[in-house]
Amino acid sequence: MTILRNATVFVDGQLRKTDIAFDEKIRAIGSNLSGDEKIDCSGKLILPGAIDIHVHARDLNQSHKEDWASLGRAAVSGGVTTVCAMPNTDPPLDTLEIVREYRKRALNSLTNAKVYGGITLKNIQKLDELSTEVDSFKLYLGETTGNLVITDKKLHRKIFKQIAQMEKLLAVHAQRGGPPKIVTQHEADDIRYVLDLAASHGTKLHIVHVTTRRGVEAIWEAKRSKIDVTLETCPHYLFFTERDRERRGAWLKMNPPLATEEDREFLWWALAEGLIDIVATDHAPHTREEKSVGYERAPAGVPGVEFMLVLLLNAVNDQKLSLERLIEVCCANPAKRFGLPTGELSIGWDADIAVVDMNIERTITREMVRSKCGWSPYEGLRVKGWPVMVFVRGKLVHIAES
């Protein structure tokens, strides 16, 4: 049993001076706890480990970009203890054989690993079979890495009905592609289309990487109509805009594209006010060489898993976001939505824990990057608040360099 002592612990929705004892599970929270190892955490915060429900772990035929081992190192260095991996791999995660191989490779990760099943034209008749091996499903309506886009509206209706009958969660890439300005302008219409499908079939829906004010407002209108939907946005939409893309080119090329400064400001407001359910990174690593060939030829996507939490901790230090909201969008809400036994510090829950020093201030540099892709769009940003120690199911997996 490990005891973290003399820290300020986020427990029951508030910060409290107490100790916490755990093995694989959290066993006790209080004073005078006994255990085999006692670690003094004076001056630190103890938070639930963050959950990133939207990562591209690559591996398989794209292991030069990332593999499960490198993804795990990157994630835990940033306080992320659980990741949910998207299915647009090479080959895609659309058969039992490939999903089982992917899960086997995920054992190399330091994190907890969850896997989405891909819905493709060749497996629509076998989703029931695939559902036994995947945690959720993902449907692509717009441009993405890999050939997973389904455009047939009849098939959309069939898919939403099937997923509802299986009582699985369906994550949807709703933005249907095109030039960046067109994607941004049409995001809300694309989102309303999938909201109507979810309403018709009672599908449990999660809409990924929302970028605009109109997109958020469309989803909240649906929530008021009792549609079972959640939404996520990503750090890059909180920190960059279309103007940054114009300046930095392929390094900020992603799907969906960056939106306007007005949209970015609204996302921050919506995040602080509780209109955004989850922050996830859409960690989509490509190598520096792949990103250096010009905007049109370069693949879309940016890495992000190792800096999500520190960027938001910095926002807490800047009083732009409350710590309570950070815990909701990075821990509690994703755990609740995806049915995970983590996301809060409670007795009996998995001991996924991040020990944070809110006073450490560092500039993000390329040398810090642990992702195999070897770069970050956040290089040069000065941020305050860093994880110094991270546990996954009670195992110490990261200690920060002093």
Say how far apart CA 76 and CA 262 lie, in whole Å. Answer: 33
318 is catalytic: no
For residue 399, what are the contacts with CB-CB under 8 A and spacing of at least 6?
Answer: 388, 389
Q: How far are the Cα atoms of 46, 103, 145 from residue 296, in angstroms, in the given order?
A: 44, 34, 14
Question: Within its chain, how far is the Cα of 320 from the centroid?
Answer: 20
* Alpha carbon distance, N-terminus to C-terminus of the chain: 26
Choose among 209, 219, 215: nearest CA to 254: 209
**Dihedral sign, CA of 262, 193, 299, 58?**
positive
Query: Can you spell out the DSSP letters for 303-338?
Result: --TTTHHHHHHHHHHTTSS-HHHHHIIIIIHHHHHH
Say how far apart CA 177 and CA 351 lie, in whole Å. Answer: 40
Residues in the chain: 402
Query: Can you spell out the DSSP letters for 173-219?
Result: E----SSHHHHHHHHHHHHHHHHHHHHHHT-EEEE----SHHHHHHH
The CA R_g of the chain, rounded to the nearest whole Å, is 20
Whether residue 91 has a cis bond before it, omega within 30° of 0: yes
**Amino acid found at 108:** N
Give SS3 for 285. Answer: coil
Question: What is the token pair recorded at 211?
Answer: 């970028």
Choose among 128, 50, 69: nearest CA to 371: 69
Q: One of 59, 94, 282, 350 is an active-site residue; which one?
A: 282
Phi, psi of 90 (to 5 degrees): -125, 105
For residue 18, what are the contacts with CB-CB under 8 A and spacing of at least 6?
Answer: 9, 11, 29, 30, 31
Contact 274, 322 (CB under 8 A): no
Residues serving a catalytic function are 282
